[in-house]
Amino acid sequence: MLFDILTLFPAMFDGAFTDSIIKRAVDKGLVSVDIHNIRDYSGDVKHQTVDDYPYGGDAGMLMKPEPLAAAIRAAKERLDGRNPTVVYLTPAGRLLNQDTVKELSAKESLILLCGRYKGIDQRVIDSYVDMEVSIGDYVLSGGEIPAMAVVDAVTRLIPGVLSNIDSAETDSFHNGLLSHPHYTRPEVFEGIKVPEVLISGHHANIRGWQKQKSLELTKARRPDLLNGAGID
Ligand code: ADE
């Protein structure tokens, strides 16, 4: 998977992918993350202007269409032959859930467009964007943190990225449910004991307990997921 990220704040990504699972995936050549500054495509050599007032007199500024279009065209050239999908991060987008993550992880390459200010000119969305994605019903200052979330969640699903040890199988949402509670040593912590079944060595009972807890937790916290998983 090739990620090409277009942003006005490339420094925000410093360190974001230099540790842990993503770093390993990059080192193994399973993913690459390339960051580009939209300002480099402003065409306005002196001021490098990338924003302007909105028509209609709303408060705040918008990102101008020309630098965005030029930045996307350049990213498409970089990813020529790799079938890039252009994803714009916006609170108005489709909510990023594990199904969307799966869909994105099946793509060959993603161009992640990070907005700032009050957003971007609609014509860029209409002409250049394939999918609009939101990471939740709240407003962040820009699309950079959402782009990091997409890179992280998508990378975890690329074959070969996760070892058995950090397998996605025990992640929440992998089967449409929240994950069951987890315990490690010591067996007694501040007077609270690990559930007996987990130290019983009885694998069928352990699986049964995990399934039961996963259902209980999902029912209590996210009943909407049970309907989605075909369970009521
Ligand atoms: N940009 C600002 N807020 C956002 C959100 N919640 N999701 C995606 N992009 C955003």
Span from the CA of 144 to the centroid of ligand 1 (angstroms) = 8
The three-class DSSP label of residue 52 is: strand
- For 228-232, what is the mean pLDDT? 61
The model's pTM: 0.94
- Check whether 231 has a pLDDT greater than 70: no
Q: Is 61 helix (H, G, I), strand (E, B) or coil?
A: coil
The CB of 134 under 6 Å from ligand 1? The reply is yes
Cα 38 to Cα 27: distance, rounded to the nearest angstrom? 26
Atom of ligand 1 nearest to the CA of 141: 2
Cβ–ligand 1 contact at 90 (below 6 Å): yes
Q: Is the CB of 140 under 6 A from ligand 1?
A: yes
Identify the three-state secondary structure at position 230: coil
Query: Residue 232: pLDDT above 60?
Result: no
Segment 36-74, tens digit of pLDDT:
999 999 997 788 999 999 999 999 999 999 999 999 999
Residue nearest to atom 9 of ligand 1 (CA): 90
Distance CA 96, CA 131 (A): 11
> Would the pLDDT of 230 be above 70?
no
Q: Where are the alpha helices (DSSP H) in the chain?
A: 20-27, 65-78, 98-105, 122-128, 144-156, 203-221, 223-228
Would you tell me the crossing angle of helices 144-156 and 20-27 to the nearest 10 degrees? 70
Residue whose CA lies nearest to ligand 1 atom number 10: 90
CA–CA separation, 47 and 173 (whole Å): 46
Tokens of 176: 């449409």
Q: Ligand 1, closest atom to CA 138?
A: 6
Peptide bond into 186 cis (omega under 30): yes
Q: Residue 208 Cα, ligand 1 centroid: separation in angstroms? A: 38
